[in-house]
Amino acid sequence: MEYSAIASGSSGNCIFVRGNGTGLLIDAGITGKRICANLCELGCNPQTDVHGLLVTHEHQDHVCGVGVVARKLGVPVYANEATWHGMKPFIGKIPDDKRQFFRSGETFIIGDLQITSFCTSHDARESVGYIIDDGRVKLGIVTDTGLLTPEMLRVLKSVDELILEANHDLDMLQKGRYPWPLKKRIMGDFGHLSNRAAAAAVEFLVRNGRISEGRVLLGHLSEENNRPELVLKEVLARFDQAKIMPGRDIEIELASRDQRTPLYKVG
């Protein structure tokens, strides 16, 4: 299985995953033109290498391109019922036979990949993360969440690699220009993960899960309230305390708002 974060941040999000000949997009919060151009750069044919589009939640930075992509590529869109209702104003008409519903927590099959959804903690109607399983390895995807619950950590212990948000540096956010209600929302249980919280989660999963000797891709960095060097500083400090060796026990990579990552191979 292989994957690339095409875009990751408040200006738009999209992830491509491919395994066993089945290609999936997770979210489409940028233009369809940009998504297709990036897929071509990755050596993929958008018309033949994408077989489904999974949606995590209805916020515009995750769904503004869903309708265009679904219609242009003729692929089914998968979301829970609450997300379908929430994104309806933003996506236009999707043919009935391309509208696929699942219950949060449900496992289902797309092509030759197994997808397990799980609830996240975000101020959307019913946000979810996903685990993509090709029968050999598993990739976890957690984009927007204010915290990682014990149940989420239990589910993520099974993954070999992980895409996880590290949205903000607490000091930058607290001292920054955002109004207090917005700061409170971001820092809250239904907001976004801080660098500190993301680092703690990665340490836990390295100690207790399967991602040791794998990769964690940290994304959704705030342009206003974070910097790549601050993310790495927080993670490395946590690893140093826990005697985890980056590059041996785990690889840490960062996703960008405006540049796709390489096509990483799981395992």
Q: Where are the domains positioned within the chain?
A: 1-103, 145-258
Whether pTM > 0.85 for this model: the answer is: yes
Fill in the amino acid letter for 43. G
pLDDT of 57 = 98
**Residue 46 parent element (H or E):** helix 46-49
pLDDT at 245: 77
Q: Is the dihedral of CA 228, 148, 10, 177 positive or negative?
A: negative
How many percent of the chain have pLDDT more than 70?
99
Helices within 150-261 (DSSP H only): 150-156, 170-175, 180-187, 195-208, 228-242
Quick one: pLDDT band at residue 92, thresholds 50, 70, 90? very high
Across all residues in the chain, what is the average pLDDT? 96
Residue 58 CA to residue 126 CA, distance in Å, equals 9
pLDDT of residue 98: 97
Per DSSP (E only), the strands in the chain are 2-7, 14-19, 22-26, 52-54, 77-79, 99-101, 107-110, 113-119, 128-133, 138-142, 161-165, 214-219, 250-254, 264-265
Predicted confidence (pLDDT) at residue 250 exceeds the cutoff of 90? no
| Helices 66-73, 32-41: inter-axial angle, 10-degree rounding | 60
User: Which residues contact residue 252 at a Cβ distance below 8 angstroms, ignoring those fewer than 6 apart?
Assistant: 202, 215, 216, 218, 232, 235, 246
**Token digits of residue 203:** 């340490």
135: which 2 tokens? 């029968």
pLDDT at 103: 98
Looking at domain 1-103, its CATH architecture is 4-Layer Sandwich (3.60)
Mean pLDDT of 204-208: 93
